[in-house]
Amino acid sequence: MAFLLITNKGYIMKITLTESKFIDEFNKVRSNYFSYETLQALYKYYDEFDGIAEIEFDPIAISCEWEEYDNWEEVKDNYNINSSEELRELTTVLHTEDLPCKIIVQQY
């Protein structure tokens, strides 16, 4: 997956990150912010845009854009919704593949 990286001097570089490198580099900036499984799901989400859009690799922005939940009850309480379908009409919702399943919601 290709990402744009803006250096501390303002230079823009295009870098390619594998899933494991994405997770390692993310954790260098935001250690233990998301579970390993959530970072895998986020990588797969961004990988869908490879070749379509240029995405900046910014762990701070990514962690502000997404929220990880352990269950639907937490999500429903936080968003005051009745169903997952209702939330999916409002924003992007991802989930991890491994159990216990994590729900990842794009903040809006």
Task: With residue 24 as reference, give the H or E element that holds it.
Answer: helix 19-29
The 3 state secondary structure assigned to 38-75 is: HHHHHHHHHHCCCCCCCCECCHHHHHHHEEEECCHHHH
Confidence of residue 99 (pLDDT cuts 50, 70, 90): low
Looking only at Cα atoms, what is the longest distance across the chain?
Answer: 46
Confidence of residue 2 (pLDDT cuts 50, 70, 90): confident
Per-domain boundaries in the chain: 2-106
Strand, helix or coil for residue 3: strand
Of 50 and 59, which is predicted with more confidence? 59
Q: Which residues pair with 3 in a beta bridge?
A: 15
Q: Tell me what pLDDT residue 27 has.
A: 96
Q: Cβ-count burial of 79 within 10 angstroms (0-12 exposed, 13-18 middle, 19+ buried)?
A: middle
